[in-house]
Homo-oligomer: A and B are copies of this chain.
Amino acid sequence: MLTGMQLIGQEKSIGHDDLVIYGENPATGEKLLPGYSGATIDQVRHACKLASDAFDAFRAQPEEKRAIFLEVCAEEIMLIGDQLIERAMAETGLPKARIEGERGRTCGQLKLFANVIRHGIHLDARIDPAQPERMPLPRSDLRMKNIPLGPVAVFGASNFPLAFSVAGGDTASALAAGCPVIVKAHSAHPGTSELVGQAIQRAVKRCNLPEGVFSLIYGSGRTIGTELVQNPAISAVGFTGSRSGGEALMKLAFNRETPIPVYAEMSASNPVFLMPNALQNRSASIAKGFVGSLNMGAGQFCTNPGLVIACKGDALNDFITTAELAMNETVAQTMLTSGIHAAYVEGINALKIHDSVVEIASGKPNLDKNLCQPKLFSTTAKSFLEDLSLQNEVFGASSLIVICDDLSEYKKVALALEGQLTITIQLDKEDVSEVSTLMPILEKKAGRILCNGFPTGVEVCHAMVHGGPYPSTSDSRTTSVGSSAINRFLRPVCYQDFPEELLHSSLQSSNPDSVPQLVDGKLNG
């Protein structure tokens, strides 16, 4: 049952802020009850205090017990049943299959992290045994393992109400690491947030964990978010959203008395490079795949293909013709919020009136509320290089084809790119040698490089990198999806000459849990 209250530890508490947040059905404009009064500063502080108090007991749990907790979270989310699907559909305008798929992904993600911590690779356990006879000086016994950073503040995304929200990748990886989590609910899906928050609250109780392991608060990013990031109990921040939002959090975190890391996934235009032979051989199928990727979820993906780089010529003309036909057939989809829709319209209008940009295709016109009419534009590489603001993300189903005179312009465009979450290359066998000279540039620009696919669709697995150089994220050394995401919330501690009884089991020579250990530089895992 939805209560409209903050979930602070095991309590439900009425917010007392003047701001009251309502979910809204973006397709109809209908206001969805209940209203969520924002948390007060005192409520935020209380959540932080509980998280801080819970930290040592939570991190002291055996990995197995924390793994079970993650699985119970997944189970409790499934137990919500259709109410979750219906509320999420109402709050986001996303279709049922998409929400159901996202629920599966969210639960799969929790289970993945359960297995990661069971395996123990995240501990990075290392043992350099003592060498008492070493000359000129003996070596001490040195053992190292990762420990969690401390309580984490999570700011969920609007575009994945489940998988990047209350129980999303940031929360799952922070909990897996042993960090208590305080989520600030995204104001676009407060009810969905509460349902999932209640599920985690129940999981905390079922697993007999200290209540401060999880809290969910509502309110404005500017007041509640600021208080949260500045609270001394908070040790790291996870964020998925706009560049301006991410940069504001980075500044707050940097200017604390004790600066803390911010993992902000911000913006990307996810360029797609069409190599000449691939374009020649497969222009129609690439065009169809591209339009499909562009319009998926009304283009509301962090990895939406917002730029296409291609050589002028007949093959590109064929590509454009096919894309245009496919675009014309696309049905407009409801965008997540009226704010996102307004920003999309502003973004495409700016392209429309740009001197060097031509509108080349459009989806079916439809004036219903908050619908995204897909758009395809083109410009020349020269114009692009003269006005690099053309690479700025337009959040939604809009893409810009950058037309090059020759392959040397591909390189110039590649060099001019900002940091990206993904870069895609469409290539055929005959393109390989050219691509091999492009790869060193692309590697420096993106966290993930795709061959002959499209960037939408982010697999939750061990090898995934959903990250990339600034400004796609705040920290190119990390990923927010996949098992490596846990590393964001860990730091190493070295124990010198300790008796085994004071060491964590992962550092004991008998290795009772059989975790991977790097002993004298060699892996025994």
Instruction: Indicate whether A304 reaches chain B with its CB closer than 8 angstroms.
Output: no
Instruction: Indicate whether A115 reaches chain B with its CB closer than 8 angstroms.
Output: yes
Which of chain B's residues have a CB closer than 8 A to the CB of A189?
A: none
Asked if B453 contacts A496 (CB within 8 A), the reply is yes
Instruction: Indicate whether A95 reaches chain B with its CB closer than 8 angstroms.
Output: no
Q: Which of A121, A140, A446, A470 has the most CB of B within 10 A?
A: A140
Name the one of B115, B144, B450, B465 contacting A492, with C-beta atoms under 8 angstroms: B465
Asked if A142 contacts B477 (CB within 8 A), the reply is no
Rounded to whole Å, the gap between the CB of A90 and the closest CB of chain B is 24
Name the one of B124, B436, B494, B496 contacting A502, with C-beta atoms under 8 angstroms: B436
Instruction: Indicate whether A430 reaches chain B with its CB closer than 8 angstroms.
Output: no
* Per-residue interface assignment for chain A, residues 433 to 453, with 1 indicating a CB less than 8 Å from any chain B CB and 0 otherwise: 001100110011011111111
* Per-residue interface assignment for chain A, residues 46 to 83, with 1 indicating a CB less than 8 Å from any chain B CB and 0 otherwise: 00000000001000100000000000000000000000
Which of chain B's residues have a CB closer than 8 A to the CB of A476?
A: 149, 491
Asked if A448 contacts B496 (CB within 8 A), the reply is yes
Complex Cα distance A471/B127, Å? 27
Known A-B contacts A115-B521, A464-B144; the reply to A451 vs B492 at CB < 8 A is no
Instruction: Indicate whether A32 reaches chain B with its CB closer than 8 angstroms.
Output: no
Name the one of B127, B432, B516 contacting A523, with C-beta atoms under 8 angstroms: B516
Instruction: Indicate whether A147 reaches chain B with its CB closer than 8 angstroms.
Output: yes
Rounded to whole Å, the gap between the CB of A484 and the closest CB of chain B is 6
Copies in the complex: 2
Known A-B contacts A461-B142, A484-B492; the reply to A451 vs B502 at CB < 8 A is yes
Complex Cα distance A435/B501, Å? 11
Complex Cα distance A124/B127, Å? 19
* Per-residue interface assignment for chain A, residues 454 to 490, with 1 indicating a CB less than 8 Å from any chain B CB and 0 otherwise: 0001010111110101110011111100011000001
Asked if B491 contacts A477 (CB within 8 A), the reply is yes
Asked if B459 contacts A142 (CB within 8 A), the reply is yes
Known A-B contacts A490-B477, A518-B462, A523-B516; the reply to A497 vs B436 at CB < 8 A is no
Known A-B contacts A142-B463, A499-B432; the reply to A474 vs B128 at CB < 8 A is no
A contact residues, range: 35 or more
Which of chain B's residues have a CB closer than 8 A to the CB of A502?
A: 432, 435-436, 439, 451
Rounded to whole Å, the gap between the CB of A169 and the closest CB of chain B is 15
Instruction: Indicate whether A42 reaches chain B with its CB closer than 8 angstroms.
Output: no
Complex Cα distance A478/B243, Å? 26
Which of chain B's residues have a CB closer than 8 A to the CB of A408?
A: none
Which of chain B's residues have a CB closer than 8 A to the CB of A432?
A: 499, 501-502
Complex Cα distance A127/B60, Å? 31
Given contacts A127-B463, A254-B254, A462-B518, 15 further A-B contacts (CB under 8 A): A121-B518, A140-B453, A140-B457, A144-B462, A144-B463, A150-B444, A258-B419, A258-B471, A261-B475, A261-B477, A432-B499, A439-B502, A477-B491, A477-B492, A479-B494
Binding site for B on A (CB under 8 A): 56, 60, 101, 115-116, 119, 121, 124, 126-128, 136-137, 139-140, 142-144, 147, 149-150, 250, 254, 258-259, 261, 419, 432, 435-436, 439-440, 443-444, 446-453, 457, 459, 461-465, 467, 469-471, 474-479, 483-484, 490-499, 501-502, 516, 518, 520-521, 523, 525
A–B Cβ pairs within 8 angstroms, 7 of them? A139-B459, A140-B450, A144-B462, A258-B469, A439-B502, A465-B494, A469-B491
